[in-house]
Amino acid sequence: MALDRVGFVGVGLMGHGMASNILRKGHPLTVMGHRNREPVENLKSLGAREATSLHDLAATSDIVVLCVTGSPQVEAILTGPGGLASAGRELVVVDCSTSDPSSTIRLAAVLAAEGITLVDAPLSRTPKDAEAGTLDVMAGGDDAAFERVRPVLEKFAGRIVRTGRVGSGHTMKLLNNFVSLGYAALYSEALTLGAKAGLTPEVFDSVIRDGRMDCGFYRTFFTWVLERDPNAHRFTIANALKDLTYLSGYANASGAANPLGAAVRNSFALAAGAGRSGDFVPMLSDVVAGLNGVKLGKE
């Protein structure tokens, strides 16, 4: 049986690995051009086709996967001028971006009238996991749509968690990022306080590593702190701030008090305001240390 034709928008840091796994594991693949031509040309060399427009992408795909920055980009791709909805074809769209759940729920209703079914399937882990096909996916949407896209998700995911109705995947993703980014803010302040007392990052790590507070996120964060490897966790402070802002909006809309979320968001807002938006999340530790007059790691 022929596999579904897959269209892909957003073959960047995460998207390239996802798309290459979809292609290598048998699905015909069409990709939209990307400002960084290298991943596009690589995928074309492996057999992918490059679409000339979103309308063209929709016309030659059964399932379209999105992996872009956030809701404004997703909305433009789906319902903007020349967007996927303008093609007038029945499609299943899988939004793997970290998007605002309220936008996702609204879009799902709008797109249903156009014959397009939306599944929200945001991601966890790193670009290395995307290349390895071992990402974590949180999937929201109706049962039939989820079962339709599951074979595509399985091409790049090692673990798929069914979260419930449409929008629930994006909500869970915000909660997941709140926890991880909260750890980033905690690690950064703890390292700064340690430095004030003459405790090096190496001493800090010798206590935490292999103890009860160790975890996968800690390991990638401290790969930067100890080894200065810029590729340890390639997720920018700007994107972290965007996700925490979405979380704040969700908390406000639901009427929930979210004081810790506000504090974590402010840590990243402070870093962004200091001109460090393009730095990766573990580099928050250096921003916090610098603002407090201390340094971490080797110069």
Span 157-182, mean pLDDT? 97
Residue 299 has pLDDT above 60, yes or no: no
pLDDT score, position 298: 62
Catalytic annotation, residues: 173
Span 112-121, mean pLDDT? 96
Whether 78 contacts 93, CB under 8 Å: yes
The per-residue pLDDT for range 213-253, each reduced to its tens digit, is 999 999 999 999 999 999 999 999 999 999 999 999 999 98
Residue 125 has pLDDT above 70, yes or no: yes
Residue 8 has pLDDT above 80, yes or no: yes
pLDDT band at 211 (very low <50, low <70, confident <90, very high): very high
pTM reported for the whole predicted model: 0.92
Residue 1 has pLDDT above 90, yes or no: no
pLDDT score, position 2: 76
Average pLDDT, the chain: 96
pLDDT score, position 210: 98
Residue 36 has pLDDT above 80, yes or no: yes
Q: Tell me the domains of the chain and their CATH numbers.
A: 6-166 (3.40.50.720), 171-291 (1.10.1040.10)
Span 259-286, mean pLDDT? 98
Residue 297 has pLDDT above 90, yes or no: no
Residue 97 has pLDDT above 80, yes or no: yes
Span 251-269, mean pLDDT? 96
